[in-house]
């Protein structure tokens, strides 16, 4: 009895001590991030000095070189570039478009070519318009109502969903698959309502795909601003025979070489157990990609800087990966996962920040219930920092290929309300990011990485991990 009591007493002491250590360590990370953080000045440089970073662009190459030089300056154990071939799509001159309700009666409207789209004829493409609420409408309308027309996908994001990402998921098929599907019914072009919950005049680009569709069948696709979408829809009711004209000269070039940028602090006890933190270095070519995903890039870099600054030597290897080509290909993510597989690397935990630089609300976890129980036991450590959201769910596009049945993937979940006001548009700029919100995200990420480094997985990984 006495011995059992003593053991329990020791365990309690140890646990209380451990809890205090964790509290203090997390407080230190937050203090360093908020008082002496580098994430915001890094984002300033990435956004304002380098700017947009579409795969294959000069901006992307400058971002590779600059982030590598910054990681080099942090005193990490290893910094390197991982070559990856990426697609090179170029927008060309600014798009032009108008609604013509009668010969000579026109209204200019703002559009932007969707990423991956083909060009229109150089004089532009002019055709009548058929408005639909989604791909299923194409099947209802049939070829007779679509052939020779421009299909106008106008299903708005659902404003009464609390998660704007859920609202985005519910609409983005129009943008991604709309052109390919409409072409099969004889459409000559596609105009898609911007994925934006706000009424404004900014069109939002984003990836579209023709899949394996024959080149001869590929039709041009552009996004139209939400205000202009309302206008077009209204005018169509007044004048169903109106015509839409748009002109875009985008072009796909052969793939070019680029890089994932990688840096790591080698673990002192379990160097073979890798904890990854990352975001994506590429962005769309509108705006400067400050929220998507400049924020995730600088926060991920900051995690390693905070470990160094706090003079905390991790037990496991902490690796930052700045992925190339998330937006239109995921080539960086796939190259990284392939390399991890062939090198038999053990990724026990991976954390992605790719949902904007807004106030962090928590994390979403892709893991077993058993692993999630461990995460939940840590929530009291995060409550003082107003981090409340810990849910099972997705993680992030760049780390998803690393998932196996043992490890844990997670995504930072910032407040999402303003995200799609900026996403993929020309107002995704540095001034839309708040310094404290960005720094709070970096601190939350560092704290979670710290806990995974200290406590590891509940069920340790077997030797082969990619199963």
Judged by CB under 8 A, the chain residues 409 through 428 that form the site for a second copy are 415, 417-418, 421
Q: How far is the CB of 392 from a second copy (least distance, A)?
A: 14
Angle at CA of residue 329, ends 324 and 331, nearest 5°: 50
Phi, psi of 15 (to 5 degrees): -65, -40
326 is catalytic: yes
Per CB under 8 A, 96 contacts a second copy: no
Per CB under 8 A, 380 contacts a second copy: no
Q: How far is the CB of 384 from a second copy (least distance, A)?
A: 7
Name the residue among 145, 100, 109 with its Cα closest to residue 127.
100
208 versus 432: smaller Cβ distance to a second copy: 432
| Binding residue (CB under 8 A) for a second copy from 198, 218, 315, 454 | 198
35 versus 123: smaller Cβ distance to a second copy: 35
160 versus 216: smaller Cβ distance to a second copy: 160
Q: How far is the CB of 56 from a second copy (least distance, A)?
A: 34
Distance, in Å, from the CA atom of 194 to the CA atom of 239, rounded to the nearest integer, reads 23
Q: How far is the CB of 415 from a second copy (least distance, A)?
A: 5
Buried b / exposed e along 296-312 (16+ C-beta atoms within 10 A): bbbbbbbbbbbbebeeb
Per CB under 8 A, 197 contacts a second copy: yes
Pick the catalytic residue: 326, 327, 426, 439?
Answer: 326
| Dihedral angle of Cα 360, 366, 370, 375, to the nearest 10 degrees | -10
Judged by CB under 8 A, the chain residues 330 through 359 that form the site for a second copy are 359
Judged by CB under 8 A, the chain residues 23 through 52 that form the site for a second copy are 30-31, 34-35
Q: How far is the CB of 22 from a second copy (least distance, A)?
A: 17
Count of chain residues binding a second copy (CB under 8 A): 27
Asked whether 246 and 191 are in contact (CB, 8 A), the reply is: yes
Binding site for a second copy (CB under 8 A): 30-31, 34-35, 159-160, 162-164, 197-198, 359, 361, 384-386, 388-389, 415, 417-418, 421, 434-437, 440
**Residues catalogued as catalytic:** 326
């Amino acid at each position: 009895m006495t011995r059992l009591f003593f053991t329990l007493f020791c365990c309690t002491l140890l646990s209380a001590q451990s809890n205090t250590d964790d509290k203090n360590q997390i407080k230190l990370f937050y203090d360093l991030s908020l008082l002496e953080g580098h994430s915001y000045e890094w984002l300033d440089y990435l956004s304002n000095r380098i700017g947009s970073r579409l795969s294959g662009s000069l901006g992307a190459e400058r971002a590779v070189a600059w982030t590598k030089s910054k990681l080099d300056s942090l005193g990490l154990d290893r910094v390197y570039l991982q070559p990856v071939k990426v697609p090179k799509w170029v927008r060309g001159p600014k798009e032009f478009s108008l609604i013509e309700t009668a010969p000579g009666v026109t209204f200019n409207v703002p559009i932007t070519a969707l990423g991956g789209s083909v060009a229109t004829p150089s004089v532009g493409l002019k055709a009548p318009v058929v408005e639909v609420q989604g791909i299923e409408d194409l099947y209802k309308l049939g070829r007779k109502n679509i052939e020779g027309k421009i299909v106008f996908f106008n299903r708005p994001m659902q404003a009464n969903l609390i998660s704007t990402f859920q609202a985005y998921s519910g609409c983005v098929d129009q943008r991604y698959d709309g052109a390919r599907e409409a072409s099969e019914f004889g459409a000559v072009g596609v105009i898609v309502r911007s994925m934006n919950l706000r009424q404004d005049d900014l069109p939002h680009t984003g990836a579209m795909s023709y899949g394996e569709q024959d080149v001869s069948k590929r039709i041009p696709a552009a996004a139209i601003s939400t205000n202009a979408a309302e206008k077009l829809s209204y005018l169509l009711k007044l004048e169903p025979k109106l015509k839409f004209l748009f002109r875009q000269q985008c072009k796909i070039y052969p793939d070019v070489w680029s890089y994932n940028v990688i840096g790591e602090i080698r673990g002192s006890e379990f160097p073979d157990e890798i904890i990854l933190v990352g975001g994506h270095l590429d962005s769309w070519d509108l705006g400067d990609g400050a929220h998507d995903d400049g924020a995730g890039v600088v926060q991920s870099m900051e995690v390693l800087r905070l470990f160094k600054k706090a003079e905390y030597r991790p037990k496991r290897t902490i690796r930052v990966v700045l992925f190339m080509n998330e937006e239109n290909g995921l080539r960086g993510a796939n190259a990284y996962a392939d390399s991890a597989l062939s090198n038999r690397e053990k990724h026990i935990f991976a954390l992605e920040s790719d949902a904007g630089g807004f106030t962090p609300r928590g994390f979403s976890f892709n893991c077993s219930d058993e692993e999630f129980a461990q995460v939940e036991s840590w929530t009291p450590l995060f409550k003082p920092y107003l981090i409340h959201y810990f849910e099972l769910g997705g993680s992030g596009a760049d780390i998803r290929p690393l998932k196996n049945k043992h490890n844990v993937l997670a995504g930072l979940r910032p407040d999402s309300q303003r995200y799609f006001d900026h996403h993929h548009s020309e107002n995704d700029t540095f001034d839309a990011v708040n310094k404290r919100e960005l720094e709070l995200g970096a601190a939350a990420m560092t704290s979670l990485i710290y806990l995974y480094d200290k406590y590891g997985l509940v069920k340790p990984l077997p030797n082969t991990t990619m199963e």
